[in-house]
Structure 1
Amino acid sequence: MTRRRADCRRRLLWTSLVAAVPLVALPAVDRVSASVAENRLAERIAARQKALVGTPRVSIDGFPFLLSAARGAFPSVDVRADAVTGEGRPVRASVELRDVAEGGGGYTAASADARFTAPFDSLGAGLGEGAILSADGDGRLRIDREVLGLPLTVVAEPRLTGRTITVVPVAASFAGRPVDPSGPRISAAFTAAEVVVPDLPGGLAPTRVSVGDAGVTLHAGGKNVRLA
């Protein structure tokens, strides 16, 4: 009787183990499938967007992935990429896509929020030789350079009007003394630095511009964005 009970317990144990194997393996299989889909989508985006440098990094959120894949819809897809503007400026792109659906041989997002960040060291052209740009800590742009061997510091606000980005000086000092930021020489330098935003991928529209530790960021958004 005791031996029969032991055999029964062993059979129950093996049955439980066999039943548990698929449950343990499912998350791994799901993650591998998601990784394959992310790589495939990244390659399609790279082929569609010629301004990209290398292959973008794609992350598809949500578990189980296989269920979303079967439905042909994903709640969230994040894309990170490096790109170059027509003027040769490097840009870091970050795009958050929501409610991405497959159809028509590609993918479309119901909505998208994007950030295109140009590092400070790529923005000095037009603001004077040797100009050093940084964030002033209050969401504004700080420009430091030398004029006649003396330090000139200008604090400016980037503004977006339609598709044009202007940088408006709001404070300035020369050799440690305050000067008028709207003076002709300073104003002329910043007028020359105006930038017209080119057409953005997927029909995204610019919404605002900001300054942070990483550089100057153009924010954009859109509806029914064609991804790849």
Structure 2
Amino acid sequence: MSLSLVTALLLVGLPVADRVCAALAEQRIAERIAARQHTLSGTPQVTIGGFPFLLNAARGAFPTVEVQADATTEEGRSVRATVELRDVAERDGGYEAASADAVFTAPFDSLGEGLGPDATLSADGAGRLRVEAEILGLPLTVVAEPRLTGRTISLVPVAASFAGRPVDPSGPRISAAFADRKVEVPELPAGLTPTRVSVDDAGVTLHARGDDIRLT
């Protein structure tokens, strides 16, 4: 076998072997997360960033590690979680991340409990929540702004209409209906801290961040 052929085989084979090793490591990490986090639905998806993986593994440091998972809250709500860990390094027999950003998204169909069978939730296109329902056979639409205060998520009505006519969103009936919709954010994994809440076509999303995250 010529030297050029050997070189060609190495150039093709090494990246493949590197990717296989990375995939095996991602699968092991996913299985460990699933074993520890009992609220997850199935095995999460883990992506280790950086190439070559084997060199990063030998150094015990990775530029990014991303985890995506489906979970169910204690209230039975479905949540899609994505956590991006940056500058992950081996320290003191475990791993630490210099920082982490996470999003936890609840789809609209998991948030409508208590609004009535005909109520629908959607994004209004401006980062707010649109609630549509029927009262005595007439349409009621309320647009509410999500707000995060500490660990409490609340919805503040900012616009409303009934039977096609504008009504005061701060009126007692609408205000009372939304006063009971507050949600306390539970303790997040890895000590993440809630930073803000947003609304888009995917649902209502809680954003969180952490620094100096101890993983194991």
Common fold: TM-score over 0.5: yes
- Larger radius of gyration between Structure 1 and Structure 2: 1
Number of residue pairs the alignment of both structures matches: 216
The answer to whether structure 1 residue 117 and structure 2 residue 105 are counterparts is yes
Cα distance in 2 for residues equivalent to 1:55 and 1:80: 9
Provide the C-alpha distance between the structure 2 equivalents of 1:107 and 1:75, rounded to a whole number of angstroms: 13
How high is the sequence identity, in percent, across the aligned residues?
74
Q: 1:53 to 1:226 in 2, by over 3 A?
A: farther
Structure 2 letter corresponding to 1:125:
E
1:71 aligns with 2:40: no
Partner of 1:136: 124
Range moving further from structure 2, 49-58 or 128-137: 128-137
2:210 matched to which residue of 1? 222
What TM-score do you get using the length of structure 1 for normalisation? 0.91
Partner residue of 2:146?
158
Match of 1:90 in 2: 78
Confirm or deny that 1:175 pairs with 2:163. Answer: yes
Using the size of structure 2 for normalisation, the TM-score is 0.96
Match of 1:41 in 2: 29
- Secondary structure of 1:188's aligned partner: helix
SS class of match (1:55): coil
Stretch of structure 1 that moved more, 15-24 or 116-125: 15-24
What's the offset of the Cα at 1:139? 0.6
- Return the alpha-carbon distance in structure 2 between the equivalents of residues 44 and 72 of structure 1: 18
Q: Which AA in structure 2 matches 1:158?
A: P
More helix by share: 1
Distance 2:92 2:74 in 1: 30
Task: Kindly provide the amino acid, as one letter, of the partner of residue 227 in structure 1.
Answer: L
| Structure 2 partner of 1:188 | 176
Aligned amino acid, residue 63 of structure 2: P
Structure 1 residue 129: deviation in Å? 4.3
The answer for unaligned runs of 5 or more in structure 1 is: 1-10
Task: Structure 2 unaligned segments of length 5 or more: list them.
Answer: none
Contact 1:127 1:189 in 2 (8 A): no
How far residue 204 of structure 1 moved from its aligned partner, in angstroms, is 0.3
Deviations, residues 9-35 of structure 1 (Å, cap 9, x unaligned): xx8xx2211232222211000000000
Q: 1:52 aligns with which of 40, 61, 74?
A: 40
Letter in 2 for 1:108: E
CA distance in structure 2 between the aligned counterparts of 1:46 and 1:102, rounded to whole angstroms: 21
Structure 2 residue aligned with 1:205, among 186, 190, 193? 193
